[in-house]
Amino acid sequence: MIEAAQNYWDHYWREREKPQSVTAWQFGDAPDQLANLVRNGIKTATCSAYIFYELESEPLPTTQDYSVILNSQNEPVAIIKTVEISILPMNEVTEEFAAAEGEGDRSYEYWWNVHEAFFTSELKEVGREFSDDLLVVCERFELIDVK
């Protein structure tokens, strides 16, 4: 983890029992915009393509996970805790979940179009194609702290 994120994490937990596991990362293609949505309590969910966990041998998220959210300058802006995880085909993601992602006009159509374009691009880079039933890891999270 980058030093600024580690310092923020340590400072937040200085008078509390600190969880053992934390990661630091940016959201998708618009890290500043999405981090601000988290900071403002609008974005309470996110999703990623399951295949990338497999290809990168990354562990799936758990409800024990904490994350330091970074902006585009790799500066920490918030701490979140994952509270719910589900893995399902993209075409089974609900309108309510799409709205919880907090992006655009919060409509399902907006969510679908943005995620289809993003996943199509990312999958192309690894020689794969997008399909409507692409498995996605859907995470809901709680905002723990805002820097």
With bands split at pLDDT 50, 70 and 90, how would you rate the model's confidence at 16?
A: confident
Q: What percent of the chain has pLDDT over 90?
A: 87
Q: Could you tell me if 135 and 89 are in contact, meaning their C-beta atoms sit under 8 angstroms apart?
A: yes
Q: Which tens digits make up the pLDDT trace of 28-51? A: 889 999 999 999 999 999 999 999
pLDDT at 17: 85
Which domain CATH number covers 118?
3.10.400.10
Average pLDDT, the chain: 95
CB-side exposure of 107: number of CA atoms within 13 Å? 4
pLDDT at 75: 96
Q: Report whether pLDDT(145) > 90.
A: yes
Q: Which of 41, 2, 39, 40 is nearest to 22 (CA)?
A: 2
Average pLDDT over residues 123-130: 96
Instruction: Please tell me the total count of domains within the chain.
Output: 1
Q: Which tens digits make up the pLDDT trace of 47-70? A: 999 999 999 999 999 999 999 999
Q: Report whether pLDDT(19) > 90.
A: no
Residue 19 lies in domain: 3-146
Q: Report whether pLDDT(71) > 90.
A: yes
